[in-house]
Amino acid sequence: MKLKLARTTLKAKPKSIELKKIEDELSNRSIFYFDKDNSHKELKEMIEYFEEKGYSVYMREVKYGLDDNEYIYEVHIIV
């Protein structure tokens, strides 16, 4: 499964990342930011994937502007 990481600028296109790559990076960091273009279903599947492997996962929406469409998803994956 591929997910889109949060954009670094407003006009940039989001970069994709595989679940395996996220799992490999857990030794370096535990917080990931995902773009609003990801479906809620995809993010739920990612959460279930890591919970089945014994991780604790917390997800929330982070607003970065006044518009309702200006948000990203913040995901904490704790070993």
Q: What is the pTM of this model?
A: 0.91
pLDDT in tens, 62-73: 998 888 889 999
Q: What is the Cα–Cα distance from 70 to 29, expressed in whole angstroms?
A: 24
Domain ranges of the chain: 2-7+16-78
How many CB atoms lie under 10 A from the CB of residue 57? 17
- Give the pLDDT score at 48: 97
pLDDT in tens, 17-32: 999 999 999 999 999 9
Q: CB-based burial of residue 24 (10 Å sphere; 0-12 exposed, 13-18 middle, 19+ buried)?
A: exposed
